[in-house]
Structure 1
Amino acid sequence: MAPKVLISDKLSPAAVQIFKDRGLDVDFLPDLGKDKEKLAEVIGQYDGLAIRSATKVTEKIIARADRLKVIGRAGIGVDNVDIPAATAKGIIVMNTPFGNAITTAEHAIAMMFSVARQIPAADASTQGGKWEKSKFMGVEITAKTLGLIGCGNIGSIVAERAIGLRMKVVAYDPFLSAERARDLGIEKVELDELLRRADFITLHTPLTDKTRNILSEEAISRARKGVYIINCARGGLVDEAALRAALDSGHVAGAAFDVFVDEPAKENVLFGAPNLVCTPHLGAATQEAQENVALQVAEQISDYLMSGGVTNALNMPSISSEEAPKLTPFVRLAEQLGSFAGQLTETAISGIRIEYEGHVAEMNTKALTAAVLTGVLTPLLQSVNMVSAPSLARERDIHVEEVHRSQQGAYETYIRLTILTERQSRSVAGTIFADGTPRIIQVKGIDMEAALGPHMLYITNEDKPGFIGKFGSILGDAGVNIATFSLGRNEPGGDAIALIEVDGEVPAETVEQLVALPLVKQVKPLKF
């Protein structure tokens, strides 16, 4: 049965057609997102959900979304999606961060010109029959310093446009590298220096706990007198009451806002302030941007549901459609290694070390690590997948370490997983054979070769004659058929490990008989 997708907001008809062309079953109900109760009733029928800003994907909606695998937001902001709830339920949340970047950047530049030359007020005055030429004295943009707070995709486009206008650009962004700043032709500075130097300040950063009110009353007071402030990013980045006071006092010469703390902004403390330009969240409102993000989100959701490709996910490592087929057997191996170790771990996990050697070290190891964590945590928590596992590990203060290195041993590529607990460490390693199947190649430092079937027995014992015969007799008497039998030992007469695939579950009383054998140290039924 084809995956089923719900579009609950207004999206381009071309996006609907993409879903159909890719073989998905799609319901286009553009007004459904406004009806929370109705959405909650039907969401359980769908594998994918495509939205814009009108649909609010709350914890209540997610709780009813038993089939849902992916939420795609046509646009950048995902304030209307409860990402932690989605992550906990294993639902990927995607956005389209690049489809409206140019449009938003252009709007910021347009707003900067508008407030610098008081164009909206001058237009209203002129169309009102007045000719107030002396009233609307503006300022030039050329040779002024533009301060960017945030220099990601949109901020960098604004920087390029501003340089073309012969402005000097400085940027505050903790994630901006010195090399990237040089490539853009801008200067990376700290926030205090930006406030001191900038003639115009424009914000291009997401709203987080760290960026909320980044232009606070205190920060605005430190900005140079006569500064202009433009915000086309997110409401809440600027203290609106403090900005209103600064506009009234003249400390801030003008402001241009496309976004507000509360939207739709029917009332706002800024309204009526001198030299204020406002627009109703038009940053992405061009025909080109609306079409671009709609097409992008349709492609991204389709890629994931049909081929496993993950693009622009906010809560999972990206996996391109091209690399998904190559990655799939290693994801399976990683999850099996994690499951193997997780089922054998009986005390609290403090750390997980994953070593990638050879060709696999050059692959998308973030996705593989997510698969390992899924395997490790599933026996402990249930209902874990590659989306939720990393956050669940962080919540439990499990330190995760990745090690990458080129081929050193006999195998061209392999993954080694080590689980650290309060009592011990346990390691298991595996690789992918030429036929594409995962194999265990080492357990606790003991070399062996074993495929993992649905039902396995893991046994540690002393390497002494007679063990295998007694072991086989007990399983035979219980009617348990052995499918495969793999052995390994550290030295003659030393510690030995057996991995046995059996046709079905082993009864509890049979496991007790195996544990009672004289040479046996541990018996553990495993499921994969």
Structure 2
Amino acid sequence: MPKVLISDSLSPRAVEIFRERGVEVDVKTGLKPEDLKAIIGEYDGLAIRSATKVTKDVLAAASRLKVVGRAGIGVDNVDIPAATSRGVVVMNTPFGNSITTAEHAIAMMFALAREIPAANASTQAGKWEKNRFMGVELTAKVLGVVGCGNIGSIVADRALGLKMRVVAYDPFLSHERAVDLGVEKVELDELLARADFITLHTPLTDGTRNLINAESLAKTRKGVRIINCARGGLIVEEDLKAALESGHVAGAALDVFASEPAKDNALFGMDQVICTPHLGASTTEAQENVALQVAEQMADYLVSGAVVNALNMASVSAEDAPKLRPYMALAEQLGSFAGQITESGLKGVTVEYEGHVAELNTRPLTALVLMGLLRPLLNSVNMVNAPVIARERDIEIAETKRERASDYQTLIRVIVETEHRARSLTGTLFGGEKPRLVGIEDVPIEAEVSSHMLFIRNEDKPGFIGHLGTTLGDAGVNVATFHLGRTAPGENAIALVSVDQPISDEVLRKIEALPSVVRAKALSF
């Protein structure tokens, strides 16, 4: 039974979901880093929010760990490259708190436009300063949305309902999607120049860090108001303070800060600034939603192999998982076979999908091919880190799909290019679920993969089978199945022999010395 640790506060319902799905679960919150490292080796999954830091050191101690689930969007507290290198899937729940965060951004915009926090404080202090708090309307104002993904698009939708005009900057926003949303897609400089309000909804990356700085603020129109409910590192806070003090920026509403918890900040105490303590996802509904989603996603992965909202591998839906499962076995076998018979440096891998399999989500299958291919060289490789390891070694990876079927209704072909040559392996499913090899390089052959096999390339000459049988028999090696294929009579031939025990080096040398044998290789699966 898989076992999961919940190390941050989640809804009790999350625990129930794990147990209902057949996953054992422990709840241990408030762990210090050394305490987490001491026990993480006992668990297959780790469910967290923002408090737990999943560092490289923690991951190094997590010998069983298969998945980290973040209840929420941000994964700044997870070392994703380290998790990927160790083959750990990292999931988040990008939709569970989207509406809540978007609504908080809209609320901050209203509060900023009408100076509600300052007016509230003044009134409760016994003052009546109607003339001091002169706000602005939102109607007909231009809202600049930086990052028009899930949350940004919800903010845009709400703003359009307020009769605002919305311009959006997002490198990944297509023209068609912009039209569907009812927003105008622009470049960042144009957004800065036109917007009356700017709201940030982009992740914190090397490309977005310090996005709002002295240079970008200088491009904004005088009197602009800025809202940030995304990530604190998007704004250079000292530069924003200077722009507020000069009057160029009329106000700012911030839910996130460069350093959190933010108990001291350059912007604190400024009349034009509204601050909240990272409340974007803080509603009852959002807390419940993300907890339930992360429990469902992690349980599905650990029990059935379904991968949803993963940040470091291709997703496999619960619907796709059973369809892919027989193909996953075939893909791994083809990759493993290719890896074991490849003895020179890898340059490229092409995976071709034909027929029924071409209609499926093939990215996980390609990852499994790479895993099988690299595993003879690297014991720690798996389907999560295999694509990364391949790229790190400058191995080019390509996929092609053809929905047409040839001799078989479904087919996977793996072509491996090395420093000296290219070789291919082809496989299919018999009966829709039984993996079979149907081609090795240019030789047609039908064979089932078994635990111990002998691969021989030979010249098609009389006597070969007798010599091979005698050699195996003298060594006490029992043959389970014997498959032969050739390009044409008297030309290149292949023998693929399933045996009941591993082939020793001594027996392999005797086989290599037989007449007509070009190459012999012992394989294990």
Question: CA offsets per residue over residues 357-383 of structure 1, 9 Å max, x none?
Answer: 011001110111111111111111111
Task: Name the structure 2 match of 1:355.
Answer: 352
Q: Is the 8 A contact 1:7 1:49 kept in 2?
A: yes
1:169-180 equivalences under 5 Å are 169-180=166-177
Q: Which residue of the partner structure matches residue 428 of structure 2?
A: 431
User: Using the alignment, how far apart are the partners of 1:126 and 1:498 within structure 2?
Assistant: 90
Alignment of 1:223-234 (within 5 A): 223-234=220-231
Q: Return the match for 2:458 from 458, 461, 469.
A: 461
Counterpart in 2 of 1:204? 201
Q: Which amino acid aligns with 1:507?
A: S
Q: CA RMSD in A?
A: 0.9
What secondary structure does 1:496 align onto?
A: strand
CA contact (8 A) 1:463 1:489 kept: yes
2:26 is matched with 27
* 1:295 aligns to 2:292 (yes or no): yes
Write the letter of the residue equivalent to 2:497.
Answer: I
Does the aligned pair in 2 maintain the 1:11–1:30 contact within 8 Å?
no
CA contact (8 A) 1:248 1:274 kept: no
Residue 85 of structure 1 aligns to a residue whose secondary structure is helix
Q: Which runs of 4+ in 1 moved over 6 A?
A: none
Equivalence for 2:74: 77
What amino acid does structure 1 have at the position aligned with 2:123? T
- Aligned pair 1:53/2:55, yes or no? no
Matches within 5 A, 1:272-421: 272-421=269-418
Offset, 1:435: 5.9
Residue type of the alignment partner of 1:19: F
Matched, 1:473 2:480: no
User: SS state of the match for residue 219, structure 1?
Assistant: helix
- Once the two structures are superposed, residues 130-156 of structure 1 have per-residue CA deviations (whole angstroms, 9 ceiling, x without a partner) of 111111111110000001110000000
Q: Percent identity?
A: 66
How far has the Cα of 1:17 moved from its partner? Answer: 1.0
Counterpart Cα distance in 2 of 1:324 and 1:259: 38
Separation in 2, partners of 1:392, 1:189: 37
In structure 2, the residue corresponding to 1:15 is in which secondary structure? helix
Task: Find out whether 1:526 has 2:511 as its counterpart.
Answer: no
C-alpha distance in 1, partners of 2:265/2:374? 48
Q: CA deviation at 1:349?
A: 1.0
Query: What amino acid maps onto 1:110 in structure 2?
Result: A
The CA distance in 2 between the partners of 1:110 and 1:66, in whole Å, is: 45
CA distance, structure 1, for counterparts of residue 213 and residue 502 of structure 2: 63
For residues 180-208 of structure 1, give each alpha carbon's deviation from its aligned partner in whole angstroms, at most 9, with x where no partner exists: 11001111111111111111110101101
Preserved CA contact (<8 Å) 2:118 2:271:
no
- In 1, the alpha carbon distance for the partners of 2:17 and 2:250 equals 48
Matched, 1:450 2:447: yes
Task: Specify the SS of the correspondent of 2:233.
Answer: coil
Q: 1:346 & 1:183 partners in 2: Cα distance? A: 53
> How many pairs does the alignment contain?
525
**1:94-173 pair list within 5 angstroms:** 94-173=91-170
Contact 2:355 2:411 in 1 (8 A): yes
In 2, Cα distance between equivalents of 1:397 and 1:435: 35
Q: Give deviations 1:61-94, integer Å, cap 9, x for gaps.
A: 1111111111111000011111111111111111
User: Residues 294-351 of structure 1: CA distance to partner in whole angstroms, max 9, x if unpaired?
Assistant: 0001111111111111111111111111221111110110011011111111111111
The answer to whether the 8 Å contact 1:214/1:238 transfers is yes
User: Quick one: distance in 1 between partners of 2:165 and 2:78?
Assistant: 37
Counterpart-to-counterpart distance in 1, 2:247 and 2:241? 10
2-structure distance, mates of 1:114, 1:137: 12
CA contact (8 A) 2:53 2:78 kept: yes
1:27 maps to amino acid: D
| Residues in 2 aligned to 1:437 and 1:47: alpha-carbon distance in whole angstroms | 29
**Separation (CA, whole Å) in 2 of partners of 1:215 and 1:496:** 66
In structure 1, how many angstroms separate the alpha carbons of the residues matched to 2:457 and 2:473?
20
- Specify the SS of the correspondent of 1:210: coil
CA distance in structure 2 between the partners assigned to 1:113 and 1:210 by the alignment: 29
Instruction: State the distance in 2 between where 1:432 and 1:103 align.
Output: 47
Give the residue type in structure 2 aligned to 1:439: R
Distance, in Å, in 2 between the alignment partners of 1:523 and 1:234 is: 58
Secondary structure class of the residue paired with 1:379: coil
Residue by residue, what CA displacement relative to the aligned partner does 1:422-476 show, whole Å, maximum 9, x if unpaired? 1111100101110611101011121110111011111101111111110111111
**Amino acid of the structure 2 residue aligned with 1:472:** G
Provide structure 2 residue ranges, at least 5 long, that are not aligned to the other structure. none
Q: Which amino acid aligns with 1:515?
A: E
CA–CA distance in 1 between the matches of 2:434 and 2:405?
Answer: 22
Judge which range, 340-349 or 290-299, deviates more. Answer: 340-349
Partner of 1:507: 504
What SS does the aligned partner of 2:234 have?
Answer: coil
Contact 2:411 2:428 in 1 (8 A): yes
C-alpha separation in 2, matches of 1:435 and 1:276: 63
Separation of aligned partners in 2, 1:434 and 1:382: 32
Matched residue type, 2:237: E
Q: What is the CA-CA distance between 1:500 and the residue it aligns to?
A: 0.8
Query: What's 2:13 paired with?
Result: 14
CA distance in 1, matches of 2:108, 2:344: 59
Counterpart CA distance in 2 for 1:271 and 1:236 is 16
Report the residue type matching 2:316 in the other structure. Answer: I
Quote how far apart the aligned CAs of 1:274 are.
3.9
SS at match of 2:381: coil
Aligned with 1:269 (options 236, 250, 266): 266
Task: Find the counterpart in structure 2 of residue 91 from structure 1.
Answer: 88
Partner SS for 1:264: coil
User: Which blocks of at least 5 consecutive residues in structure 1 are unaligned?
Assistant: none
Query: Are 2:493 and 1:496 equivalent residues in the alignment?
Result: yes
Give TM-score, length-normalised by structure 1: 0.98
- Distance in 2, matches of 1:384 and 1:458, equals 24
- CA displacement at 1:229 relative to structure 2: 0.7
The Cα of 1:251 is off from its aligned counterpart by 0.9
User: Which residue identity is paired with 1:249?
Assistant: S
* SS of aligned partner of 1:71: strand
Per-residue deviation, 1:222: 0.7
CA contact (8 A) 1:247 1:274 kept: no
Residue 181 of structure 1, aligned match among 162, 178, 181: 178
Which whole-Å deviations, capped at 9, do the CAs of 1:4-35 have from their partners, x for residues lacking one?
11111111011111112122211112323xx1
